Amino acid sequence: MKTTPLTRKEFIRNSALALAGATFIPGMLFAENSAQTEVEKTLTAHQGKKNYTLKNVLLETGFEYDAEGNVTATKTALFSVQIEAGKIKAINANSTDADAIDAKGLLMLPSFRDMHIHLDKTFYGDKWQAIRRGPGGVKGMIALEQKILPELLKNSTFKAEKLIELLQSKGTAFARSHVNIEPTSKLDSLRNLQLALENKKNSFGAELVAFPQHGVFYTDSVPYLKEAARTNIDFIGGVDPFTIDGAIEKTMDFTVQLALDNNKGIDIHLHESGESGLKTVEYLIKKVNENPALKGKTYLSHCFVLAKLDKAKQQAIAEQLGAAQIGIVSTVPFGGLIMPIPTLMENNVKVMTGNDSILDHWSTFGSGSVLQKANIAAQLYGQATEFGLSRMLKLATAGPIPLDDKGKQQWPKVGDAADLAFIDASCSAEAISRLSPVKSLIYQGNIVF
Ligand SMILES: [Zn+2]
C-alpha cells in the first residue's frame, strides 16, 4: 500500500487496478465532478483516520416562516462535529482548531441509501450494451438470463465493486441489493457479491435479498433458496408469483414460511398491475397480520398495481399496508404510471427508493443517484416549495432528515452513526432541486473520499 495520501482519483484508479483482469474500465466514474476541490483533497488526505473533528460543517437548524406560517427558507449554521469509533461523538459550536478537518461550509446530510438495486448482475464496469427486446415477456427474459448469466458471473465481483464506487460518488454508502438465487446461478452470484462487499466493507454497507428471479417453482429454486436462507442474507425475495409460478398462495406461503423459519424479512418484486397484483398485495397483508414477526421487515418492491387503483382503494390499501408495517420500495417510475407515494406516506407506509438497474439487460438508464430519485419525486408530486422539497430527502436517505415537519432539528444527534454525505448546497431543499454535487462521503467514520 502507498503511504502517501492519495487523491480521490488515485484512490479510485488504484482500487480499480488492484483487481486484476482485462476488463475495460470506462471513464464514467466521477465524470461530472472530477474537479478536485480543496475540501475533497483535505478529506482524502485524512483517509484511514478513526477519530477526528470536522469544522465548518453546515447543519440545518430550523425553518424561517412568513406571517401566514409558510416556510420561506431553511436556517443553517456552522458547527464542529467530532467523530469517534464510527459514531458522532459530539456536535459543538464551530471551532477554530487548526487540527480539525475543514469541511469549508459544505452541507452535511445523512449519507444516502439505495434500497433496491441488483449489485450482482450488471454490465457496469464492462463494455456498453443496450438492452435487447425479445419475445415472451418476463419468461423471455428468464430464458435470456439463463443464457447470459454464466458469462456475467465471470467478473461479477469486479463489476459489483465498480457499481459500488458509482453509488459512493453519488453520496450513497448503503444498499439493499437483490441477488439472483436460481438454478443457473445457484449461489454463485451471492458468493461473488459477498466477496465484493467484503472488499468494500470499510466504505460501504449492504443488506441482501435472496431473489428467485426465475420463479420459486417455474424453475426449481427451492433448494437454492433454502440454502441461501441459512446464510447471513437479510430478506427472502420473490417476483410476480402469478405470472411466473402460476400461483399466488403457493409461492407466497413458501416465501413467508422460509422467512419465518430463518428469521428473515421479505422483499418481493411485484410488477403485476391487474387483479393478480392486487390479490398478491392483499394476501401478503393477510399473512403479515397472521405472523406479526414479519411486521416492519416486509416490503413490496415496485408494486405498480397501486398506481392502477382508484383513489378510494388506494387509500384503503395504504391504510392496511401502514397498519401491517409493510413498506413499499419504489423506483419512482415516470411515464404513464404515477405511484400514490404521497398517499402511502400519509398513511405511515415506509416508502423507500433505489436505482434498481444501473446498466444491465433490463435497463441502461440508472444514474446511481437516489438524490435524483428524490428530485424526480419532487417534480412528479409537485413538491416545489422549500418545505416540500426538504421532505423529499427522506427518499434519498431512506429515513433520517435534518428537520422534522415542525422545523425542529432531529439529525444529527450524538451517538448517530457517522454515515455522512457532504453536499455543495445551502440546504437540503436546494440539494434536491438542483441535484447539488456530493463532495465527500463518510461511512461509519471512515472517510471514503
Ligand atoms: Zn429489481
From first to last of the 449 residues of the chain, give the pLDDT tens digit: 333 343 444 444 444 433 333 333 333 333 334 445 666 677 777 777 789 999 999 999 999 999 999 999 999 999 999 999 999 999 999 988 889 999 999 999 999 999 999 999 999 999 999 998 878 888 999 999 999 999 999 999 999 999 999 999 999 999 999 999 999 999 999 999 999 999 999 999 999 999 999 999 999 999 999 999 999 999 999 999 999 999 999 999 999 999 999 999 999 999 999 999 999 999 999 999 999 999 999 999 999 999 999 999 999 999 999 999 999 999 998 778 999 999 999 999 999 999 999 999 999 999 999 999 999 999 999 999 999 999 999 999 998 999 999 999 999 999 999 999 999 999 999 999 999 999 999 999 999 99
Q: 412: cis peptide before it, omega within 30°?
A: yes
Å from CA of 266 to ligand 1 middle: 14
CA–centroid distance, residue 206 to ligand 1 (Å): 15
pLDDT at position 30? 39
Considering its fold, how many domains does the chain have in total?
Answer: 2
419 CA to centre of ligand 1 in angstroms? 25
Same domain, 152 and 275: yes
Residue 397 inside a domain? The answer is: no
Task: State residue 109's pLDDT score.
Answer: 98
| Residue 136 counted as domain residue | yes
Looking at the structure, do residues 381 and 429 belong to the same domain, yes or no? no
Hey, which residues does 417 pair with through a beta bridge? 87
- CATH, residue 142: 3.20.20.140
CA of 50 relative to ligand 1 center, distance in Å: 35
Are 147 and 188 found together in one domain?
yes
Q: Are residues 164 and 136 in the same domain?
A: yes
pTM above 0.85, yes or no: yes
Picking from 150, 209, 205, 155, the residue whose alpha carbon sits closest to that of residue 183 is 150
State in Å: Cα 238 to ligand 1 middle: 10
Instruction: Answer yes or no: do 287 and 194 share one domain.
Output: yes
Let me know whether 186 and 256 are in one domain. yes
Q: Judge whether 44 lies within some domain.
A: yes
- Cα separation, 3 vs 115, whole angstroms: 35
Domain boundary among 392, 414, 429: 392
pLDDT reported for residue 15? 42
Q: Which of 348, 368, 392 is the last residue of a domain?
A: 392
Report the separation in Å between the CA atom of 247 and the middle of ligand 1, taken as the mean of its atom positions: 20
- Do 28 and 104 lie in one domain? The reply is yes
Does one domain contain both 348 and 424? no
Q: Are 15 and 165 in contact (CB under 8 A)?
A: yes
Residue 334: inside a domain:
yes
Task: Determine the distance separating the centroid of ligand 1 and the alpha carbon of 330, expressed in angstroms.
Answer: 10
Does residue 309 fall inside a structural domain? yes
- Expressed in angstroms and rounded, the spacing between residue 224 Cα and the centre of ligand 1 is 19
Same domain, yes or no: 188 and 199: yes
Provide the grid cell at 81.
462535529
Question: How remote is the CA of residue 126 from the centroid of ligand 1, in Å?
Answer: 20
Of 298, 380, 283, 285, nearest to 339 by C-alpha is 380
Q: How far is the CA of 268 from the centre of ligand 1 (A)?
A: 9
**CA 61 / ligand 1 centre spacing (Å):** 37
Residue 191 shares a structural domain with residue 326: yes
Same domain, 95 and 193: no
Check residue 39 and give its pLDDT: 67
Q: Supply the pLDDT for residue 390.
A: 98
Domain closes at, from 349, 364, 392: 392
Q: Please report, for the domain that includes residue 46, its CATH number.
A: 2.30.40.10
Do 423 and 436 share a domain, yes or no?
A: yes
CA of 387 to the centre of ligand 1 (A): 31
- The parent domain of residue 61 ranges over 8-111+404-447
C-alpha cell at 32: 461530472
Spell out the residues 6+ positions from residue 39 whose beta carbon is closer than 8 angstroms to its own. Answer: 102, 103, 104, 106, 422, 439, 440
User: How many angstroms does the Cα of residue 404 sit away from the middle of ligand 1?
Assistant: 31
